[in-house]
Structures are given as structure tokens and as C-alpha cells.
């Protein structure tokens, strides 16, 4: 499931970046590339922490439900809109997933 989900979220991030570019939200020419790098970094961290949850013995149905939840979609929307304000991908993802998971 998560490999397909991971690809889905990457495509969503890319589409959002394209829309932001069309709407002129990137102030500097390099902002789109920074956006792509940062969202990919955050997505890599989400995938890493998902594997950690599964390897820690979390029930796979519960982990899958976490990533299929409305709360995760809301979290991801925040990533897409506040990507440049997130200082630590690892800390931000860990805290966000903990809040969603509990």
C-alpha cells in the first residue's frame, strides 16, 4: 500500500508545485526547485517513519489507516503550504504522525 501511496503523495506535491508556479507563488526562480527538494525530503522522512512504525510491530492495518486518514491528508496539505517554514523534517514528521496516530 505505502509504495503506491508514497508515489501518489509525490505526484500531489509535484502538481501543487506546478500550480504554485502558474499562480506566481514562487518569488525567486530557484524557489520551485527548493520546493521540490524540500517536499521530497519530507516525503522521504514520512516513508522512513512509516517503515519504523511497521518494524516496531505496529499493526499494519492501523498504520495503513493512519496514511489513509483525513488527518494525514490535512497534515500533508500543511506540508505543501508551509514547506519553507519546516525547519526539521524529522521532528516535524515525527510530531505530526504521533498526533495523528494517537
**pLDDT, tens only, 24-57:** 999 888 999 999 999 999 999 998 998 888 888 7
Residue 40 CA to residue 23 CA, distance in Å, equals 21
| Cβ burial 47-59 (10 Å sphere, 16+ → b, else e) | bebbeebeeeeee
Q: pLDDT tens for residues 72-97?
A: 999 999 998 999 899 999 999 999 99
Write down the pTM of the prediction. Answer: 0.82
Q: Where are the domains of the chain?
A: 2-101
pLDDT higher at 2 or 72 = 72
Amino acid at each position: 500500500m505505502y509504495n503506491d501511496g508514497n508515489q501518489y503523495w509525490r505526484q500531489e506535491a509535484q502538481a501543487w508545485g506546478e500550480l504554485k508556479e502558474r499562480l506566481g507563488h514562487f518569488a525567486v526562480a530557484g524557489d520551485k526547485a527548493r520546493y521540490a527538494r524540500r517536499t521530497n525530503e519530507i516525503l522521504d522522512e514520512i516513508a522512513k517513519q512509516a517503515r519504523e512504525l511497521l518494524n516496531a510491530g505496529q499493526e499494519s492495518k492501523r498504520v495503513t489507516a493512519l496514511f489513509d486518514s483525513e488527518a494525514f491528508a490535512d497534515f500533508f496539505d500543511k506540508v505543501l503550504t508551509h514547506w519553507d517554514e519546516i525547519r526539521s523534517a524529522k521532528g516535524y514528521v515525527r510530531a505530526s504522525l504521533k498526533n495523528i496516530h494517537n
